[in-house]
Structure 1
């Protein structure tokens, strides 16, 4: 860790030529194959991402202004490196590039060839290459935009002076626009408000709006939002959202009291919005518009208690990618799946307050009370008749239960961050693949939108069995139970996100039994030694910033393992980003889970941080498969933000 601009290479080592870019194909180049030689004269930024990863989606948004500002000197290449099996397919990658409006070239790297060449160990990872083809910096996680901008400006100035900078258009070729009534819809609910009884409200995420349909889902009645990406309150035609997610209707008496009928998750804007169907208006009711990131200087006004939970006036507390919502009858609050920091929050519309409700902000699958449970990018919340909430925890491919009265979390199906598959049978053996939604069926069983398997699954809490209701769907992201009416039996209305439509699915008595098996995320293992292992995270403070030590050490390291017994001593979280742990005997493999954070503010090293300085939180979660051997290295080096080399 140092408070200086990145050196050309760590430890004064010779400059390293950037490895070649190898993959299955190029996207957004108009069919042109590229090499690093073709990009000589440009600053090149590699973004190793995968579309299941919320942190990767945050980085896509962080890069948009940088991409625009330096468009004549900078080429961004998204290197798509999959985690889940579904993410390896050509169609899925193409859909993701379109869904998230990726406006730079993408290298499809399904076999992680380029990932390995650049020694990436986590999503997202960024690497910067100078106009002469040398690797000058690498960093993991999100929050790097300010430091990246400074580094890019330094490289532009240096190579303009040397005559090695080439300004002008890059290789990006925009795809042909695709039109349709829905574009990558995400969530659906049934309305009950007067004048809207029975109508469907669909989160039309790709069109940055909500679409209200008649009860059949066949006729579009109105659109809430202009359809342009942005952030604006106002009437339905003028309001703007950014990739909005789930919405929930408030009870009538509460809606009348607060002046809006619906609470909507404005995901990419990190806001909750209030929608008044009667007045035809949208207002901001929670969030500041800035992303909440975990750090000593972030959200200080909202921090309460020794446990570090957050609460306060809803408009004053930062949020992080709210994805779905559900109303809790026992507490009369709106529970929020805060996918961006792996927690569940609670919003009180009447009081205008919001609080961190359950989850530690560590990513993983751990059951327990609200201050013990771990979530992983929770993407679906649904009420159950007995008062609990059903939770679709996407990154652990898990189906879970949350008790709103106590905050207690239990797991129905799922085992961990790297375990998934398409397997029916007893819950302990069953596997999903990145589920995004769930709903309770009339008989008390639970239907699951098993998104990356393209299926609707059913879990029966009474028997503990999982079966398959339907398959062959295009990324189902949500579902709604539709009651019997006009001679049509009760069925499911499924949001087929990648097919841009709503689809009816029968609730069959007999389930298919799929046995395609359990899988694990396949990544090259890192070889380490036995006994003691030094975990050393490198963080070079960007030029013009200094470590934010106003509240103590601004760095933090959390280390755990799968299985937990792999670490005999040194696990847990504490200040500092350099720690030696002791590995237990008798293990030859496992996974190390490492979270590192560092906080820095604008200001020069050695000086005081200005009163109103902008502060930045750098953070990353690594899940590193390891192989242990007596001849393995005794040090594991990771870059939170380091120099190339």
Structure 2
């Protein structure tokens, strides 16, 4: 077994082996990813900004030019030392594995290192490609995400773990919190990929987004002539790709809109790939759009499909959705609940819809935070035209003429009068666009690497990856996402609104004197008054399911189980890919949710130990009598063709009496389709 270079050897590795690679990459960065400041490993309140004109978007076909030539030939002996990979830092924390990995343990396989940071839109675009590459070459390749944080908030392992689950990353991720590997390899920007051969040599790489077909060409070329079988995978990899199921009906909600006409909240349940319309007063769900499966399909209500939807806005009699993962704009007809696709782009071309994020409507036009292009776009329903409105497409902070202005991943949008407010997360900035002449102005923020948490006059205030902005009663409010705070601007001075308990909230909306917040990493919707104070969580209840039926049970909480039986209509089955859920809630507000796995049968049986609910805090072994509300959220489709998919909901109350000895399973039966929406 060869010796991999330790971190104390990294100067010789970087200079002798990787310097030629770095010199090849840097001139091509305008076609690739984002440059970093001189010292990327120093999280501070304000780091000197890089030249805004040097940081640019990746992911276009031209970015393929910024790649390191694949080198599969054996190097001369005197050159070998500089080409070997670096061992992973000892003591570094890992996510998506059963324990730390080592390069030595991966010897005999190809290893692809993806240097990324979770707020980077170009890194986000790479995730499905890398997931698929890992699946295609699972016998020979291990993909390792090396998370090298831009923002200080991103360097915390628990936050990375949330991002791994939110983006549905299926491969192991190393937290390079001290930027050790980043500096050892002289990585110039996010994302950067290095391909390491089975013998530990660096044989190729790429800066910026890399299309899947180009990665497969590189892998096929590397594997040409390979005859040796790869060794068994380390047991630590067995945990990669595990799905985290939050104790909530929602999963990473990232969009919310209050519709003044219908008086409903429309929630982008992003992690469940659906839109939910809710009565804000009662929490009753009035409509569900999307079957909870990632995809793109037009249809009625739950018969449609979305992929990581986010921004929502109403224009006329339609509710528009930024279907981020599909690079599309979708329209919900509020008269008949049909979902249609009105515009769609993709990752392979410049000047396209690429990860549309926030939406706002004004004067018959829908404005789009086209985050993947670092531009604000517009959609005209009358003509069907979708086009760039402001931003050159270069990533940066530049004001003035809309054709020359620069944005950095524009996301949340809000219209107030003739002003379009823009939250620009990668520059931690708040921008405005004059809708009369298009002039772009920056209120907060000065550069791509100027961030922190500082209130005060606008010119000195600092935010961290602020994702949304709104105006309530004439006062601008800012969702300071990575600081998990709400801020407002009064007389050109930034103030923190007193609120606690948020975890990377991604979107908010206003209703009366209330702020409704998508508290993303807490998997919930909360509201608070404009003045701040304690937040109140919205408790979702399946709508139109009739009054909750009460079932009395006598159980031993240590030995007995709750047995739930679902009886489906003839020729129907539960959709295996949808988030079918049984949710529990106590009168005190404690919640716990559990996914229901489908067997594609006409009858499903779910056994839930009471001890599981005790551990989740739902029931108390010291209380002789207690009450638990049970809600069912179910998607069911035709068994053969799956051309018809429906949503069903049910609500029950379990009146529980504790028994000193085992009583057997408590039975609960739900007939799907007889109670639902």
Q: Normalising by structure 2, what TM-score?
A: 0.65
Residue 8 of structure 1 deviates from its aligned partner by: 4.4
1:271 and 2:335 equivalent?
Answer: no
Structure 2 contact 68–204 (Cα < 8 Å) conserved:
no
Residue 339 of structure 1 deviates from its aligned partner by: 0.2
Q: Say if 1:408 and 1:201 are closer, same or farther in 2 by CA, change over 3 A.
A: same
Question: What's 2:578 paired with?
Answer: none
Question: Unpaired segments of 5 or more residues in structure 1?
Answer: 256-260, 295-309, 311-317, 484-489, 511-645
Return the match for 1:459 from 470, 485, 489.
Answer: 489
Matches of residues 625-644 of structure 1 in structure 2 within 5 Å?
none
Residue 482 of structure 1 deviates from its aligned partner by: 2.0
Return the match for 2:475 from 445, 469, 476.
Answer: 445
Q: Say if 1:134 and 1:266 are closer, same or farther in 2 by CA, change over 3 A.
A: same
Residue 169 of structure 1 deviates from its aligned partner by: 8.5
Question: What's 1:501 paired with?
Answer: 524
Residue 177 of structure 1 deviates from its aligned partner by: 3.5
Question: What's 1:320 paired with?
Answer: 354
Question: What's 1:24 paired with?
Answer: 92
Separation of aligned partners in 2, 1:69 and 1:6: 19
Count of residue correspondences: 461
1:397 and 2:428 equivalent?
Answer: yes
Separation of aligned partners in 2, 1:476 and 1:168: 38
Question: What's 1:234 paired with?
Answer: 299
1:380 and 2:445 equivalent?
Answer: no
Name segments (4+ residues, structure 1) moved above 6 Å.
Answer: 1-4, 9-13, 167-170
Structure 1 contact 292–320 (Cα < 8 Å) conserved:
no
Structure 1 contact 127–139 (Cα < 8 Å) conserved:
yes
Separation of aligned partners in 1, 2:290 and 2:68: 45
Question: What's 1:291 paired with?
Answer: 347
Separation of aligned partners in 2, 1:63 and 1:268: 15
1:349 and 2:381 equivalent?
Answer: yes
Structure 2 contact 69–205 (Cα < 8 Å) conserved:
no
Separation of aligned partners in 1, 2:149 and 2:374: 20
Q: Say if 1:52 and 1:5 are closer, same or farther in 2 by CA, change over 3 A.
A: closer
1:440-495 deviation line (CA, Å, top 9, x unaligned)? 010x22000000001000013xx211000134321121222221xxxxxx221111
Structure 1 contact 217–502 (Cα < 8 Å) conserved:
no
Residue 20 of structure 1 deviates from its aligned partner by: 0.9
Residue 406 of structure 1 deviates from its aligned partner by: 1.7
Helix, strand or coil for the counterpart of 1:265?
strand
Q: Say if 1:4 and 1:188 are closer, same or farther in 2 by CA, change over 3 A.
A: closer
RMSD: 2.3
Question: What's 1:541 paired with?
Answer: none
Q: Say if 1:10 and 1:224 are closer, same or farther in 2 by CA, change over 3 A.
A: farther
1:527-584 deviation line (CA, Å, top 9, x unaligned)? xxxxxxxxxxxxxxxxxxxxxxxxxxxxxxxxxxxxxxxxxxxxxxxxxxxxxxxxxx
Q: Say if 1:374 and 1:14 are closer, same or farther in 2 by CA, change over 3 A.
A: same
Separation of aligned partners in 1, 2:68 and 2:167: 35
Structure 1 contact 367–374 (Cα < 8 Å) conserved:
yes
Question: What's 2:496 paired with?
Answer: 468
Structure with the higher fraction of residues in helix conformation: 2
1:264-283 deviation line (CA, Å, top 9, x unaligned)? 11101111111113222211
Separation of aligned partners in 1, 2:278 and 2:403: 40
Return the match for 2:511 from 482, 488, 505.
Answer: 482
Residue 71 of structure 1 deviates from its aligned partner by: 1.9
Separation of aligned partners in 1, 2:301 and 2:95: 35
Helix, strand or coil for the counterpart of 1:148?
helix
Structure 1 contact 42–167 (Cα < 8 Å) conserved:
no
Residue 97 of structure 1 deviates from its aligned partner by: 0.8
Residue 41 of structure 1 deviates from its aligned partner by: 1.9
Residue 292 of structure 1 deviates from its aligned partner by: 5.1
1:371-430 deviation line (CA, Å, top 9, x unaligned)? 11100001110011x221111011110111111222110011111100011101111111
1:233-268 deviation line (CA, Å, top 9, x unaligned)? 1122221111111011112xxx3xxxxx11211101
Matches of residues 35-46 of structure 1 in structure 2 within 5 Å?
35-46=102-113
Helix, strand or coil for the counterpart of 2:404?
coil
Q: Say if 1:217 and 1:339 are closer, same or farther in 2 by CA, change over 3 A.
A: farther
Matches of residues 98-497 of structure 1 in structure 2 within 5 Å?
98-158=165-225, 160-161=226-227, 163=228, 165-166=230-231, 171-173=237-239, 174-175=241-242, 177-179=244-246, 180-192=248-260, 197-216=262-281, 218-251=283-316, 255=317, 261-288=318-345, 290-291=346-347, 293-294=349-350, 318-329=352-363, 332-384=364-416, 386-442=417-473, 444-460=474-490, 463-472=491-500, 473-483=502-512, 490-497=513-520
Helix, strand or coil for the counterpart of 2:105?
helix
Structure 1 contact 132–164 (Cα < 8 Å) conserved:
no
**Structure 1 stretch displaced more, 491-500 or 6-15:** 6-15
Helix, strand or coil for the counterpart of 2:325?
coil
Structure 1 contact 73–167 (Cα < 8 Å) conserved:
no
Helix, strand or coil for the counterpart of 2:309?
coil
Structure 2 contact 85–201 (Cα < 8 Å) conserved:
yes
Separation of aligned partners in 2, 1:97 and 1:175: 10
Q: Say if 1:203 and 1:376 are closer, same or farther in 2 by CA, change over 3 A.
A: same
Report which of the two structures shows the higher radius of gyration computed on alpha carbons: 2
Structure 1 contact 72–169 (Cα < 8 Å) conserved:
no
Q: Say if 1:145 and 1:509 are closer, same or farther in 2 by CA, change over 3 A.
A: closer
